[in-house]
Amino acid sequence: MLAKLFDVKETKDKGKGLFAKEFIPKGTIVCFECKKCKSLTAAELGFDKMSEAEKMKLLDWAYRKKDGTFVAPCDETKYINHSCNANVLGTEFGFDIAVRDIKKGEEATYDYRDFYDDVKMPCMCGEPNCCKVVTFMHPVPEELKEFWDKKVNSALKLVNKVKQPLNEALRENGIVLPIVEYQ
Ligand SMILES: [Zn+2]
Ligand SMILES: [Zn+2]
């Protein structure tokens, strides 16, 4: 479930994307896997018989988790594009968080390297640290993990300080906001 903070718009070169309708402060929970998001197994998808192109297509509407299942988000969450310097990242708490302020009109991005897909996806995010080809390497290289952890930990310190549009939905889905000491 995606917070109602975004418009779906056409990007220049990546198909549709999510664009902030308003200023979104760092620490805002942007989305989470809710009970309406669909979970599919590799067998259900016929994944083993898929061509590389078909596996790539999957990335348009589903992502693969550590346990090997695929999640098809229930809403526009699927339009979030990849960036090697994403402004939204996953946490260990079952939700994804804005790791820096997102300006009104700015595109929201997620680091797909967090997923467990097994294709190679060219990247043209244009960030100085762009990996050029997204590979879904697990365990994630130490350096990348540190890069994410630093951002996520700093954003989590704000989780109880900023307005959380998904608060009620999180509660209904049994997800509790972590208490993080502000330092
Ligand atoms: Zn959902
Ligand atoms: Zn990139």
Expressed in angstroms and rounded, the spacing between residue 133 Cα and the centre of ligand 2 is 7
Q: What is the per-residue pLDDT for 183?
A: 54
Write a three-state SS string for 12-30.
Answer: CCCCEEEEECCCECCCCEE
pTM here is 0.95
Q: Which ligand approaches the C-alpha of residue 172 most closely?
A: 1
Q: Is the pLDDT of residue 104 over 70?
A: yes
Query: Does residue 132 carry a pLDDT above 90?
Result: yes
| pLDDT, tens only, 24-78 | 999 999 999 999 999 999 999 999 999 999 999 999 999 999 999 999 999 999 9
The pLDDT confidence band at residue 182, using thresholds 50, 70 and 90, is low
Whole-number Å distance, alpha carbon 73 to ligand 1 midpoint, is: 5
Domain ranges of the chain: 6-172
Ligand 2 mean position to 65 CA, how many Å?
21
Ligand that comes closest to the CA of residue 85: 2
Average pLDDT over residues 96-105: 98
As a CATH number, domain 6-172 is 2.170.270.10
Neighbouring residues of 76: CB distance < 8 A, sequence distance ≥ 6: 2, 6, 8, 18
